[in-house]
Amino acid sequence: MSFAGTGVVAIWHDVVPEARDEFYEWHNREHMPERLGIPGFQRGRRYIALDAGPVYFNLYEADSVQVLGGEDYLARLNAPTTWTQKVVQSYRNVARSICDVHYSAGVGHGAYLVTLRFDVAGERSEQVLQALRDQVLPPLVDAQGITGVHFGTADHAVSKVETAEKKARSEGTEIPSWVIMIEGCAADYVTHVRERLVAELGTLLDTPAQSLSTTLYQLEYTRCKTSASAG
């Protein structure tokens, strides 16, 4: 297991330009430490887009989806700080999924990560899940320069829970259903595997590549659960 648990929060978003500086201060000094102080949260990362947006991708690894639907996390989401309420009003184009991790393997963490978001018809879900987990994704782990390959599907019941923090945003929130993340130590390694995966997904899903939402990101910040974590 390359991820630090079987539950992840995956969040994509833009920020209005005038809020950029305050977003960074808030996210580094309050928000990420606050999240990693929640029991069961193990690691948080923030990325910035190098191609098609949204500009930011935030990834939180937790012990399980049960942690992410549990009382401690919901209590924090329903009691946002004044600073949080202010900053999240600047969010735009928000997509957020609380995912069950079905596959996660690799040798470590890389500075570059690509996300792929897509949907699968309900009647094909089990077939596609099994194909990804058993056939499509394992060979990518050994590709040149790749450090991790991860795949999860949204727990829609948990992802849809309305909270005070969600209501503080200016816009609604999309819930991507299927998410694949590939990380590596150089952008060209990751983009090469992205091209390979998009082609394979197109065949597997019998769908054009343009229906897949994919973005290349570079790591900006990591926060782990340490004795210095808030809370």
pLDDT tens for each residue of 183-211: 999 999 999 999 999 999 999 998 766 67
Query: How many separate domains does the chain show?
Result: 1
Name the residue range of residue 92's domain: 7-224
- For residue 229, is it within any domain? no
Q: What is the CATH number of the domain that holds 175?
A: 3.30.70.100
pLDDT at residue number 207: 76
Classify residue 100: in a domain, yes or no: yes
Is residue 21 a part of any domain in this protein?
Answer: yes
**For residue range 65-109, what is the model confidence (pLDDT) as tens digits?**
999 999 999 999 999 999 999 999 999 999 999 999 999 999 999
Q: What percent of the chain has pLDDT over 70?
A: 96
- Nearest partner of 217 among 47, 58, 96, judged by Cα: 47
Q: Is the pLDDT of residue 229 over 70?
A: no
Does the residue 2 lie in any domain?
no
In a domain, 231, yes or no: no
pLDDT in tens, 21-59: 999 999 999 999 999 999 999 999 999 999 988 999 999
166 assigned to some structural domain? yes
Position 94 scores a pLDDT of 97
Report CA 46 to chain centroid distance, whole Å.
9
> Has residue 155 been placed in a domain?
yes
Residue 1 pLDDT > 70: no
Please check whether residue 159 lies inside any domain of the structure: yes
